Amino acid sequence: MSYPAQLLIYVPEVTNRLSYIMDLIVADLIGIPYTFTTDAEYFKSASGPKFSYAKAPVGDELFFECQNLLFETDIKYPPIPIAEHENLKGFFTVSERSTLPFDLFATAFYLVTCYAEYLPGRVDKFGRYRASQSMNYKAGFLEEPMVNMYAEYLKKVLRSRYNGLSFPERRFTYIPTFDVDMAFCYRGKGFQRNFGGAIRDLVMNDFKSFTDRFLVLFRGKKDPFDTFDYLLEVCERDGHRPVFFFLMADLSRYDKCVPHTYEPYREIIRRVAAKADVGIHLSYQSHKHNKIEKEEISRLEDIIGKSVTLNRFHYLRFDTPRSQIRVIDYGITDDYSMGYGPHPGFRAGICTPYYLFNLYTNTRENIRIHPIAFMDSTLIQYKKMNYRQGLERIRKIVNSVKEVNGTCYALWHNDTFIERKQYRGWRNVFETISRETAQWMKS
């Protein structure tokens, strides 16, 4: 039997939270329109594809028992026991009458909104929310896009119930992104910084760096961090459209970039902008300082000659949702910061772009979040992995995105590809992932 591509959902009441998560899972991830009804008799008489999300079933329909989260307006500590079903894990357990032993939609909402980050908790030395406090970390699925997996499960049970129901095809996508914290290792840093660096090289018996510094500064050798032509070449070869985020900060302890006025740096930005998307890498010191954020965005706009709408916070240092909401006023429409520094995986439990939901006002904000799947420095610096171990871990994460036809946002740094010390072999990782994902996208 063929069914119209319209889903009817019975709910006890319609709320902003409920509408938001149904828009995300049903309209976006599953890809079919839906309508709510609070009329039980109308729902009973409807013959098309439908399910109920309520405290009790209306009849013998496909039934998902709800908890209270999506019908509340406040923020509080909810009891969150963990339940499992097949390859899924979720919170907010429900009775055996339900299709799942947990509230799928409440769990998805809890994950995507980063609900736990609104509650008091410990931060790391950089003032960042700790991954170890998140429920997806505690439940052991941080490296799985659980919200996307919920959508796939929902499609499966709807198909089983309504044999003629079809869904639009989603395709796996890989998007390499690059944070440019330091465009140059030696160039543009002035006499004092280079003199101090040379002394440090000698003290550490790092004669390779000492020699490189001299050759770059006085003999015209290419700076080792200037890997931009290589990165663009690999992305172009494999058909990927990259995104570069450039730091426009004044020099500080955690913002060690070259001056934004340094012409070779400005020329690199313009050259990259001709072949890739470019965004601002809002600095560590700009955190909670509106004037600094606005100034840094203005600096990048002056260089590329157009408005800047993409952002990633340096050190992935942000407060949900205040940081994202604040930059909307400066023209930012898309943020690429949703991830953890010390851990790979899906901070919001999802591998698809989505709009931010503000729990303080219970409204959707006009900024899209692009969640990070993995970051090179997480594996190299925090996890102390060599390139072989890193490649294995990345492949596993990328494959989890591929299985749900999601979007894999990779976070790389231009200075990762110098092929020295702990970075040796990482060009191979970058090229392998780029090539493999390109083949998957074509298949």
Q: What is the secondary structure of 16-84 as a DSSP string?
A: HHHHHHHIIIIIIII---EEEE--HHHHHH--SSEEEEESS-SSSSEEEE--SGGG--S--------EE
Please state, as a whole number, how many other Cβ atoms lie within 10 Å of the Cβ of residue 72: 14
Q: What is the dihedral of CA 428, 432, 374, 293, to 10 degrees?
A: 70
Total of domains in the chain: 2
Using CA atoms, how far apart are residues 428 and 434, in angstroms rounded to an integer?
10
Full domain range(s) for residue 103 = 7-161
Q: Please report whether residue 34 resides in a domain.
A: yes
Q: What is the mean pLDDT of each run of 10 residues along the chain (443 residues)?
A: 77 98 98 97 94 97 97 89 95 96 97 95 91 94 98 96 90 98 86 68 71 73 94 98 97 91 97 98 92 97 98 97 96 98 98 98 98 98 97 98 98 96 96 97 88
For residues 402 and 297, state if they share a domain. yes
pLDDT value at position 288?
Answer: 83
pLDDT value at position 130?
Answer: 95
CB-based burial label for 143 (10 Å; 0-12, 13-18, 19+)? middle
DSSP of 80-134: ---EEETTEEESSB--TTSSSSB-HHHHHHHHHTTGGGGS---B-TTSPBPGGGS
Q: Please report whether residue 336 resides in a domain.
A: yes
For residues 245 and 387, state if they share a domain. yes
For residues 111 and 181, state if they share a domain. no
Q: What is the DSSP letter of 211?
A: H
The angle formed by the CA atoms of residues 115, 119 and 123, to the nearest 5 degrees, is: 105
pLDDT value at position 78?
Answer: 79
* pLDDT tens figures, 242-252: 999 999 999 88
What's the token pair of residue 259? 């001056």
For residues 133 and 181, state if they share a domain. no
Q: Please report whether residue 168 resides in a domain.
A: no
Using CA atoms, how far apart are residues 164 and 166, in angstroms rounded to an integer?
6
For residues 149 and 292, state if they share a domain. no
The domain that holds 304 is classified in CATH as 3.20.20.370
pLDDT value at position 191?
Answer: 63
Q: Please report whether residue 208 resides in a domain.
A: no
For residues 125 and 270, state if they share a domain. no
Using CA atoms, how far apart are residues 391 and 387, in angstroms rounded to an integer?
6
Percentage of residues in the chain having pLDDT higher than 90? 84
Q: Please report whether residue 410 resides in a domain.
A: yes
For residues 115 and 180, state if they share a domain. no
For residues 177 and 147, state if they share a domain. no
Q: What is the DSSP letter of 259?
A: P
For residues 415 and 436, state if they share a domain. yes
Using CA atoms, how far apart are residues 66 and 110, in angstroms rounded to an integer?
13
* pLDDT tens figures, 274-297: 999 999 999 999 988 899 999 999
pLDDT value at position 189?
Answer: 77
Q: Mark which of 161, 193, 209 sits at the end of a domain.
A: 161
Closest CA to 365 of 14, 16, 15: 16
pLDDT value at position 198?
Answer: 57
Q: In this structure, are residues 242 and 231 in contact, taking their beta carbons and an 8 Å threshold?
A: yes
Q: Please report whether residue 217 resides in a domain.
A: no
Dihedrals φ, ψ of 88, to 5°? -100, 150
Q: Please report whether residue 129 resides in a domain.
A: yes
Any alpha helices (H) in 345-386, and if so which ranges? Answer: 376-377
Percentage of residues in the chain having pLDDT higher than 70? 96
Q: Coil, helix or strand for 148?
A: helix
For residues 346 and 385, state if they share a domain. yes
For residues 25 and 150, state if they share a domain. yes
Q: Please report whether residue 167 resides in a domain.
A: no
pLDDT value at position 196?
Answer: 64
pLDDT value at position 207?
Answer: 63
For residues 177 and 118, state if they share a domain. no
- In angstroms and rounded to an integer, the radius of gyration of the C-alpha atoms of the chain is 24
Convert 363-386 to b/e letters by CB count within 10 Å (16 or more is b).
ebeebbbbbbbbbbbbbbeeeebe
